[in-house]
Structure 1
């Protein structure tokens, strides 16, 4: 049996957009980018101990990436309900890590809820936000440079 247009309309929007049932999408619009070179990476975790430096070690993390020249928006799909924090890196030289000079970042960074950076990266609670199943989240994050 061939799928008909009516059958496609009956599918839920999350199925058509690629989300698994009971999940949603987190969309991040980035501001403050100083150029369009390299890559932009986002890592989202629900584990306070993994945020922000050990996000890549969290097996349940959600990630997204885009060429900086392709736009200023990241989309993280299939996000189950929970409390999360996001760290963003503008990797200008494409080496997949935050380059440092002494103790200061050379590349752009940002955090959900635009959590402030004082003498160290923000704690999970300062950047955390809630996600409900089926309710898309749309946020703006500022990319900062030192």
Structure 2
């Protein structure tokens, strides 16, 4: 077996760090992060108007944060896979996921009145994360064909 690709390990670790950090912030500091990212007025609107809505939104956001933490741990586990074909397959899947998120933001999130001005910044972030995996693929193809 060949040695694990250092660039794949680095990519997975960077993406895992981003996922875990965002997940922890969503679980424990959602109000502060919402106010920082969306502004105070929009953050208040996103909290819900009734106690029942607020509880549902808090539960949903906490579970989403926990899912991000699990994704980060999964990325750390995947980073130790040594199979080059799997690494390429996994990177292509990650590109597809990030492009899908950007398309989701462009076509659906921009229609939400309270988040309408946020979607370009978030879509650019999704595209940049996807491009980081594309750079890994280009690097691995370069190694393969040199």
For normalisation by structure 2, the TM-score amounts to 0.27
More strand by share: 1
Largest Rg, 1 or 2 = 2
More helix by share: 2
